[in-house]
Structure 1
Amino acid sequence: MITNKITYKNIHNRFKLNGYHINLEQMYYVAYSFIKEGEPFEQHVGNFLLDWFDEKSYIELQTSGTTGAPKVVRIEKQAMLDSALATGDFFGLKPGDTMLHCLPTNYVAGKMMFVRSFILGLDMKFVEPNSDPLKNIDETFDFCAMVPLQAKNSLEKLKAKKIKKLIIGGVKVHKALEQELEKLPMEIYETYGMTETITHIAAKKIGEKVFTVLPNVKVSTDDRQCLVIDAKNISKDKIVTNDIVNLISDTQFSWEGRIDNIINSGGVKLMPERIEDKLSTLIPRRYFVFGQPDETLGQKAVLYVEGEPMVIEDAVFAVLDKFEKPKEVVFIPKFNETATGKILRTESMQSIGH
């Protein structure tokens, strides 16, 4: 697709916001109205729109803080535009397609939904981001993006085919939810990405293991087996991640876990995400596995479960290999999490003095 004729100030003539065609001049009016008279979630939109259409060539975005302190990164608007075009190509979006926007716009995923809509010419309905976005929705939409909690709370509406094509990101899709989503009569994709990659750079259909990258993206691994992303339209430099992957080709990979989380227990390297995946349909609450110091083993695997103490039968751990079985189970009343729903493991443990 030719992109050099399209600039970030282009607004497609098919773009609609909540049923109204809006041009560049009207976009400023909408932005000011949101800021002056809107709800807090609308004020975020207004501020973003003014930032997008100003004279600067970049936008400053805040990372979610999942693996460290949140930080501000500077992203070129042209790179965001190119990302929007790649998403359109990958998911087959065309001018006039209807889209439901239900993500918070103070984070990159919500911002990119706006960019996609006015660059690709989508007919967008924008609603307040909450945990049950389809609750008061009667229309049917061609495209929507959600986080897993929203998808979980929307299962009944999704069964009624309210969304034709759904992408889910922000947090890994839990296996129990994945099994529910596989039953639905629609196209559903789990996406892979981060703020630095301007949301997703790869996607896979729900139920599949292998991610396929979007157009103009290539992937490789470093000597740690961690993913390296080469997306020149997004970043001049290669993006080196801490995500351990199984590389299938320069366009496909499967995600295995985070190198930061690996537990070295008695010389055996344990991957918490692999353990969590095996337990995913057996523990009816949120949980995670983390390594803690141990005099004998160096590190031991500890299972942290959200909520009040409960009995977890030993048989639950039969699905695990001998060395994977947690040496301790600890209950945390409420996990700490980012605004996008990612569990902050370290902060959650620190909340109970671990």
Structure 2
Amino acid sequence: MYKPFIHPNFSIHGRAISFDDLTEVSYSLIKEGEDYEKQIGAFLLDWIDDSEIILVKTSGSTGKPKTIALQKEYMVNSALATGSYFNLKPNSTALLCLPASYIAGKMMLVRAMVLGLNIHFLPPSSYPLDGVTHSFDFGAMVPLQVGNSLSKLHQVHKLIIGGAPISNSIREELKGVDNSSYETYGMTETITHIAIKPLNNKEVKDAPFTVLPNVELTIDDRGCLVINAPKISDETVVTNDMVELLSKTQFKWLGRLDNVINSGGVKLHPEHIEKVISNYIDTSFFVAGVADDELGQKVVLVVEDAEVNDIRKIIEGIGEFKKFEKPKSILIAKEFQRTDSGKIQRSKTVEQILKP
């Protein structure tokens, strides 16, 4: 039977918190805290109860949101793997600026409790470091937060970034930031990240993802990644992520199988096309395939709240597209459909634009 473990060095905002303190701290956050602090308090209570599982919501970015059960023991194993990879020591400072209602925020709390970190809570806003003067040894952000915090990112010495694609412009900016930033690969089912990719190592261009300890990779007959990680999942995790597998521990991500566009018999990865376009436009966008009588599917560019003529001129001037990659048309959405955690729902957005 699983017994909750709280490291003797665990602290919140510098105040030492024992296992016996957690109930009082949790209730205080729930009763008196802001909404994001209430979520933290609720999770802490769940963590120290007698149940061996935690119920977690998936984001719903690639399908219908669902609730899944994660073993607390496996969440501890995930935290230990992250601590080992990033050499996190007791009393290291950790930044939580993600909502505790989703797995990424929950796991920052678990890492703090298991590894004995000194965790600091900040509101999960788009500008998390505004007005913050102190530094942190470790933190996690989504790309939107990173893009809005570039001038202050040196305050987070080791930063993991996930939850959404990272634009080329942010990747370039990160090369000039004096910290260690990493792109993560993972999902709720794998208890956040199982693989890491350095972002501001100027010596390594387009580095592959490297898995954390005790994770082994294969691919299936679709070319999609299969994850064997017995310390964090009872079952092999079969993904819809198409990859180039370099070894049992390294891979390059190509794109989602669900997103592949078959145009004139040529299979296109919209994520690759987006990477090209992101060098030229800053507005929110994505690439999708829509039905076409001649090609089967045609490539379209879907843009959020922008002037179509300006975007069309930019697209016409891009010379790096391969056959069939150049968008045939541009769709404008006043606002993208997004999940509660902020991820773009591509299919729903396109359906909303095209419906009569």
TM range (shorter): over 0.9
Which 10-residue stretch deviates more, 57-66 or 43-52?
43-52
Aligned residue for 1:71? 66
Quick one: which amino acid aligns to residue 331 of structure 1? I
Which 10-residue stretch deviates more, 197-206 or 29-38?
29-38
Match of 2:41 among 43, 46, 54: 46
User: How many angstroms apart in 2 are the aligned matches of 1:336 and 1:281?
Assistant: 24
Match of 2:285 among 276, 284, 287: 287
Helix, strand or coil at the partner of 2:318: helix
Matched, 1:99 2:94: yes
Helix, strand or coil at the partner of 1:157: helix
Matched, 1:173 2:173: no
Deviation for aligned residue 1:29: 0.3
Matched, 1:219 2:217: yes
Task: Please give the per-residue CA displacement for 1:38-69, whole angstroms capped at 9, x wherever unaligned.
Answer: 11111111111111111110001000001111
Match of 1:265 among 255, 263, 267: 263
Aligned residue for 1:201? 194
Structure 1 contact 279–319 (Cα < 8 Å) conserved: no
Deviation for aligned residue 1:81: 0.3
Helix, strand or coil at the partner of 2:210: strand
Matched, 1:236 2:234: yes
User: How many angstroms apart in 2 are the aligned matches of 1:165 and 1:135?
Assistant: 18
Helix, strand or coil at the partner of 1:336: coil
Deviation for aligned residue 1:341: 2.5
Quick one: which amino acid aligns to residue 58 of structure 2? T
User: How many angstroms apart in 1 are the aligned matches of 2:91 and 2:193?
Assistant: 23
Quick one: which amino acid aligns to residue 9 of structure 1? P
Match of 2:178 among 171, 185, 205: 185
- TM-score normalised to the size of structure 2? 0.95
Deviation for aligned residue 1:208: 3.4
Structure 1 contact 282–316 (Cα < 8 Å) conserved: no
Name the CA shift for 1:21/1:350 in 2 (closer, same or farther; >3 Å): same
Deviation for aligned residue 1:222: 0.3
Structure 2 contact 103–191 (Cα < 8 Å) conserved: yes
Match of 2:138 among 135, 138, 143: 143
Give RMSD over aligned pairs.
1.3
Helix, strand or coil at the partner of 1:26: helix
Structure 2 contact 331–353 (Cα < 8 Å) conserved: no
Task: Please give the per-residue CA displacement for 1:13-44, whole angstroms capped at 9, x wherever unaligned.
Answer: 11110110000111000111111121111111
User: How many angstroms apart in 2 are the aligned matches of 1:339 and 1:168?
Assistant: 18
Aligned residue for 2:202? none
Aligned residue for 2:147? 152
User: How many angstroms apart in 1 are the aligned matches of 2:325 and 2:117?
Assistant: 48
User: How many angstroms apart in 2 are the aligned matches of 1:109 and 1:240?
Assistant: 20
Deviation for aligned residue 1:8: 5.1
- 5 Å-filtered alignment, 1:80-91, equals 80-91=75-86
Match of 2:297 among 282, 293, 299: 299
Helix, strand or coil at the partner of 2:68: strand
Task: Please give the per-residue CA displacement for 1:225-254, whole angstroms capped at 9, x wherever unaligned.
Answer: 100000001111100000000000000001
Matched, 1:256 2:254: yes
Helix, strand or coil at the partner of 2:246: strand
Structure 2 contact 210–250 (Cα < 8 Å) conserved: yes
Count how many residue pairs are aligned between Structure 1 and Structure 2: 347
Unaligned runs of 5+ in 2: 200-204
User: How many angstroms apart in 2 are the aligned matches of 1:338 and 1:191?
Assistant: 19
Quick one: which amino acid aligns to residue 317 of structure 1? I
Quick one: which amino acid aligns to residue 213 of structure 1? V
Aligned residue for 2:326? 325
Helix, strand or coil at the partner of 1:296: coil
Identity of aligned residues (%): 49
User: How many angstroms apart in 1 are the aligned matches of 2:341 and 2:197?
Assistant: 20
